[in-house]
Structure 1
Amino acid sequence: MSIQVGDTLPDVEIRVVHDGIEPAQTGALFADRKVVLFAVPGAFTPTCSNKHLPGYVQHFAEFQQRGVEVMCLAVNDAYVMQAWAASQHVPAGLWMLADGNGAFTKALGLELDGSGYGMGLRARRFALYAENGVVKQLELEAPGEFRVSTAEAMLEALG
């Protein structure tokens, strides 16, 4: 069963690309913060690179003005996430979360089987808003869609 509004985000070890690459526990990462977490099926993939991450880069200051941190999640290794962040000119402060083995994605119940496309386990495209690790809003994209998890949609939802 996938994570729901009102649930606490699972506590799993991942890699964070922030000031270098560091291991982190998601429980500690989301504690005492207001966060929009969005997930993409894969770094360097077309929609993720041309629309999803660029929207959050473009609107990053608007999230900051609201006191909301932004984190991008993908089932990719930390070095791929670091290279993708550099190629996309991700601003300092926009966290890139590398879920290399998909442990956090599986714990969320939001995994996607991309093996038919040669991609293996991936994250479904989604965005959520959490306060102190508790999910307040969750937007899951239907397969092949890109509407409800955009930066613009999340800014609108935050009011």
Structure 2
Amino acid sequence: MIKVGDKLPEVTFSLRKGGDASNPTTADIFAGKKVVLFAVPGAFTPTCSEAHLPGYITLADKLQAKGVDEIICLSVNDAFVMSAWGATQNAEAITMLADGGAEFTQAIGLDMQTATFGGVRSQRYSMLVDDGVVTTLNVEAAGEFAVSDAETMLNSLA
């Protein structure tokens, strides 16, 4: 599993923003920036839609005021689903990033097998990434939502 001090692996993601499709790489997204990345097991799922994503939407301005350049929500869903979920949540301040094939999620060792729920999914976590290097990592215990929330991330920023 990835840990504080590790550099993120180089992968290609899928992104739909404003109707445009792109395939940014890890370097495109994280190089030279301070980024909060949080991951959820699935778009439109209860905890993700009712608490995790809304918390980051609510605190986006405060996170940015602490020097965060970008806030990213990642899920093992396709870019169309992530875009639609972001639209329904009014997540304009959040980049809704798709890891459709779970390449990134598996490369950092934060994947989980959910069988008939959806197959390979991401564990719930948050991380602060500075120029591609993990500086803070908050991984939830299975079934929990206590350390990857926006408030915890905000409180960890200097």
TM-score, length of structure 1 as denominator length: 0.94
**Consecutive unaligned residues in structure 1, runs of 5 or more:** none
> Which residue does the alignment assign to 1:39?
39
Give 1:37's aligned amino acid. L
* In 2, Cα distance between equivalents of 1:118 and 1:59: 30
> In the alignment, which residue of structure 1 is the partner of 2:72?
71
Match of 1:3 in 2: 2
Deviations, residues 133-156 of structure 1 (Å, cap 9, x unaligned):
000010000001101000000000
Amino acid at match of 2:65: Q
Identity %: 49
Distance 1:18 1:136 in 2: 27
Give matches, 1:49-128, under 5 Å: 49-68=49-68, 69-91=70-92, 93-115=93-115, 117-128=116-127
Alpha-carbon distance in structure 2 between the residues aligned to 1:17 and 1:70:
15
**SS of residue in 1 equivalent to 2:54:** helix
> How many angstroms does 1:29 deviate by?
0.9
Distance 1:47 1:17 in 2: 23
The 5-angstrom pairing of residues 12-27 of structure 1 reads: 12-19=11-18, 20-27=20-27
Q: Distance in 2 between matches of 1:118 and 1:137?
A: 29
Output the amino acid matched with 1:32. Answer: G
- Does the CA contact (< 8 Å) of 1:38 and 1:149 recur in 2? yes
Measure how far apart 1:67 and its partner are: 2.1
* Structure-2 change in CA distance of 1:45 and 1:128 (3 Å): same
* Unpaired segments ≥5 residues, structure 2: none
1:95-136 deviation per Cα after TM superposition (whole angstroms, max 9, x unaligned): 111000000101111001111x42100000000001000000
Displacement, 1:66? 1.6
State the alpha-carbon separation in 2 of the partners of residues 60 and 118 from structure 1. 30
The runs of at least 4 aligned residues of structure 1 exceeding 4 Å deviation read none
- Secondary structure of 1:13's counterpart equals coil
Provide the C-alpha distance between the structure 1 equivalents of 2:77 and 2:129, rounded to a whole number of angstroms: 22
Aligned residues: 156
Q: CA RMSD in A?
A: 1.1
TM-score, normalized by length of structure 2?
Answer: 0.95
